[in-house]
Amino acid sequence: MITFSIITITYQAETVLEKTVESVLEQEYPYVEHLIVDGASKDRTVAIAEAYKERSDAADNGHTILISSEPDKGLYDAMNKGLVKATGDYVVFLNAGDFLPSVHTLEVVAACVGEGDELPAVLYGETDIVDSNYQFLRHRRLKAPKVLNWRSFRYGMLVCHQAFYARTDLARTLLYNTAYRHSADVDWCIRVMKEAEKRDLPLRQVDAVIANFLTGGDSKQNHRASLNERFHVMCKHYGVLMTVVMHLWFVVRGIFKK
């Protein structure tokens, strides 16, 4: 059976962590490893995580909960710590405040692995945006394409990070670039897909919403810096000319959608 490593990065997350861990606890799929990587929070974050572990152990649902709490060098350093520890077939990052939309979400993702000698490099799906009360706001504007490869992200991050399940053996060899502060996730997804192409491994679509994304995260709070950094990420992978052309297209598209 396919095993999943879910990684949740936390810091001072007592107000949002409960929703995330509850959605994992409710999963009917048993082959789950949930790593909570905390950055030495001073609030009740770790206590909430420990209480969640006790509930999961008591439920005897097959899930393994691993909690660590220590200072880190930022979000992407913490993500790398989680990647190194992950042991599942696939790894996905579910931030504090984000959550799995259904008790069957992991079953749906696992069912899309398909047949074959090699596991797909990536399983990916759709994302919904929710507000601070975890109520549906809208479907994510960018749609996950039926056929995805590393060139697809020229048109923007078509698959949300929380809906991007990467094969752990690939992901561990491609740690996040901690020189980026806001867009290392975009760079990482592209590099994972490039590696998939090198190894001739498929990327398989999950035709369903598989993540609920809490609006107002880091990229929202640091919007200008995030856009600037993302521009440099795209230049690195697609070249300056292509990136400039695509950004001009983004502007035109935005004007006509108003």
Which structure tokens are listed for 29?
């799929």
Task: For residues 13 and 97, give the distance between their C-alpha atoms in angstroms, rounded to a whole number.
Answer: 8
- Nearest 5°: the CA angle 227, 229, 233 is 110
Per-residue pLDDT at 115: 81
Per-residue pLDDT at 257: 56
Per-residue pLDDT at 245: 86
* CA-closest candidate to residue 23, choices 168, 194, 213, 190: 213
Q: Among positive and negative, which fits the CA dihedral 90, 173, 232, 81?
A: positive
pTM: 0.93
- Return the residue matching tokens 């039926």: 146
* CA-closest candidate to residue 9, choices 230, 161, 170: 161
Which tens digits make up the pLDDT trace of 118-177? 899 999 999 999 999 999 999 998 999 999 999 999 999 999 999 999 999 999 999 999
Task: For residues 52 and 48, give the distance between their C-alpha atoms in angstroms, rounded to a whole number.
Answer: 6
φ/ψ of 64, rounded to 5, equals -115, 125
Q: Which residues of the chain have pLDDT under 70?
A: 217-221, 249-258
Per-residue 3-state assignment (H helix, E strand, C coil) for 97-134: CEECCCCCHHHHHHHCCCCCCCCCCEEEEEEEEECCCC
Per-residue pLDDT at 222: 75
User: In angstroms, how far is CA 240 from the centroid of its own chain?
Assistant: 27
Give the chain's end-to-end CA distance (angstroms, integer).
47
Which structure tokens are listed for 253?
């598209």
Domains and CATH numbers, the chain: 4-225 (3.90.550.10)
Per-residue pLDDT at 235: 95
Task: For residues 221 and 183, give the distance between their C-alpha atoms in angstroms, rounded to a whole number.
Answer: 13
Per-residue pLDDT at 49: 98
189 vs 32, 58, 167, 170, CA distance in Å?
22, 36, 11, 11
Per-residue pLDDT at 215: 87
Q: What is the DSSP string of 3-59?
A: -EEEEEEESS-TTTHHHHHHHHHT-----EEEEEEE---SSSHHHHHHHHHHHHHHH
Pairing relationship of beta strands 122-130 and 136-139 according to DSSP bridges: antiparallel
Per-residue pLDDT at 250: 62
